[in-house]
Amino acid sequence: MEGRKAKTAFELAMEKVAEMPKLNADEIEEEHKKESIAKGEAIAQHYLQNIHHKTDIQNEMTAFGPEQILTARISALRCLTQELSLTKPETSRHILDGIAALNPDVSTDTALKRLNHIIHDYQTELLAAYSSFEKTEVKNLKQEGISGSAVKPNLKALNSWQVKQAKLTASHTSKLDNFQKSLLPQ
Amino acid sequence: MQLEKNLYGYIWQGKDNNCNSYLIADCLDQNKHLLIDPGHIKTKVANESALEVLLKGIQDDGLDPGSIGLILLTHCHPDHIEAASFFQTRLKAKVALHRAEAEIYQQMGGMADLLLDEGDLILGTQPLKLDIFHSPGHSPGHITIYWPEKKVLIAGDLIFYQSTGRTDLPGGSLSEMKQSIIRLSSLDIEWLLSGHPYGHPGIIQGAENVKKNFQFLLQQLMIEP
């Protein structure tokens, strides 16, 4: 034991690290990429939660090196575009402002017009389908001897309505998907 | 128990809490019946078979429970709604309640087929007309059902004999209850059918008795009638 000094836990850990195989250049690049993706997502989330303003997004991006900035930017953009929704038009402008801050090719007003058009088409079709189903169901109820100003069918309880609504949503979601893709750098 | 032609009352006589149920017979197509507030399947504390008691009561009156085509729920509290699922899933009856109670009903595992607002409900080819009143106070979407032809008011948990429903439960409101009771007090009522047998079967018969009950309640609520 003489002349030998006990090692601290930190020293032992560092020895183990030193024994580990070194990452090659590709693996290092992969690690940096993962880190940039995570940071990009975090920046987008902070913006969505109103912790960050759109100018903060741009400032945050300047912290990335030239090799990471594109990955982080695309990651943040993907995160923001995925939040665009057919059913929450009230959030559209805020999200598109964030997207425009990350992608200079996007103009908030132009993108908002296109998105509102998609949402309007969806809601118009949905409303028309709802009215048509409701009309049919009111007729069915009358045939069963139930009518009057107090009563309306609850379409949520109808499987056929659930199926119709899902189909309509799916068809308009594909339009929204294409729009979301168009907001990413080409 | 038959109260009037085509009107039946099932007064809960168990030890535990459960509601009174009411039935209007032969009012839907194919001689189907309307049932109001089917109550518990089993009571919560004493585990009494409330639904079995109700089904037996209906059969004893010479009616077929399988012919119940529509369930109206005055409000969405478990002691009024639990057995609705039995009639809906086993007997294919439709369930209706006020739209303001639909979400909570869904959270409790139910799904209403019909949503109600204030207005008229026309049943069958005869036809039979019921007035649906939105009567909040005990719960936000509480309804009372008035049958003008027979001068019957099915009052749910808004009005009892010499008392009113609780307003301290979620969504309850004393001021809304006062307003609801004032509105209903102007109706021409021969039968006031309450949602519980609290110290009294819950059935008040005769226009004079109904009027006295309203006067009592309005005094209790410190409102000038």
Taking CB atoms and an 8 Å cutoff, what residues of chain B touch A162?
Answer: none
Nearest Cα of chain B lies from the Cα of A104 at a distance, in angstroms, of 44
Whether the CB-CB separation of B8 and B1 falls below 8 Å is answered with yes
pLDDT digits (tens, 9 = 90+) for B107-144: 999 999 999 999 999 999 889 999 999 999 999 999 99
Q: Which two three-digit tokens encode residue A82? A: 């995925």
**A141 close to B (CB below 8 A):** yes
Mutate to test the interface with A, among B28, B29, B120, B122 (most CBs of A within 10 A): B122
Q: What percent of chain A has pLDDT over 90?
A: 65
- Joined together, the tokens standing for residue B140 give 């936000």
Give me the interface pTM, i.e. the ipTM.
0.90
Residue B187 covered by a domain: yes
Q: Is residue B66 part of a domain?
A: yes
Domain annotation covers residue B57: yes
B219 vs A32 pLDDT, higher one: B219
Instruction: Give the pLDDT confidence of B45-78 residue by residue, as tens digits.
Output: 999 999 999 999 999 999 999 999 999 999 999 9
Q: Say if pTM beats, i.e. exceeds, 0.90.
A: no
Residue B225's pLDDT band, with cuts at 50, 70 and 90, is very low
Would B225 be classed as within a structural domain? no
Give the residue numbers spanning the domain of B82: 2-220
Q: How far apart are CA A110 and CA A58, in angstroms?
A: 21
What CATH number is attached to the domain comprising B164?
A: 3.60.15.10
C-alpha count within 13 angstroms, C-beta hemisphere, residue B96: 25
Q: Does residue A1 surpass a pLDDT of 60?
A: no
Q: Is residue B216 one of the residues assigned to a domain?
A: yes
pLDDT at B38 over 90: yes
**Are B150 and B190 within 8 A, CB to CB?**
yes
Nearest Cβ partner for A144 among B28, B99, B132: B28
Kindly determine whether residue B125 and residue A145, on different chains, have CB atoms separated by under 8 Å: yes
pLDDT at B223 over 70: no
For the stretch B89-103, pLDDT in tens is 999 999 999 999 999
Q: What is the mean pLDDT of residues B166-191?
A: 95
Mean pLDDT of B21-33: 95
Structure confidence at residue A51 (pLDDT): 81
Structural domain total, chain B = 1
**Residue B203 within any structural domain of the chain:** yes
A146 interface with B at CB cutoff 8 Å = yes
Per-residue model confidence as pLDDT tens digits over A56-80: 888 888 888 887 888 999 999 999 9
> For residue B121, is it within any domain?
yes
Residue A121 has what pLDDT? 96
Is residue B43 scored above 90 in pLDDT?
yes
Alpha-carbon span A30 to A71, nearest angstrom:
11
In a domain? residue B15 = yes
Return the number of other C-beta atoms located less than 10 Å from residue B128's C-beta. 19
Q: How many residues does chain A have?
A: 186
- pLDDT of residue A4 exceeding 80: no
Rounded Cα distance, A47 and B80, in Å: 47
- Shortest CA gap B45–chain A (Å): 32
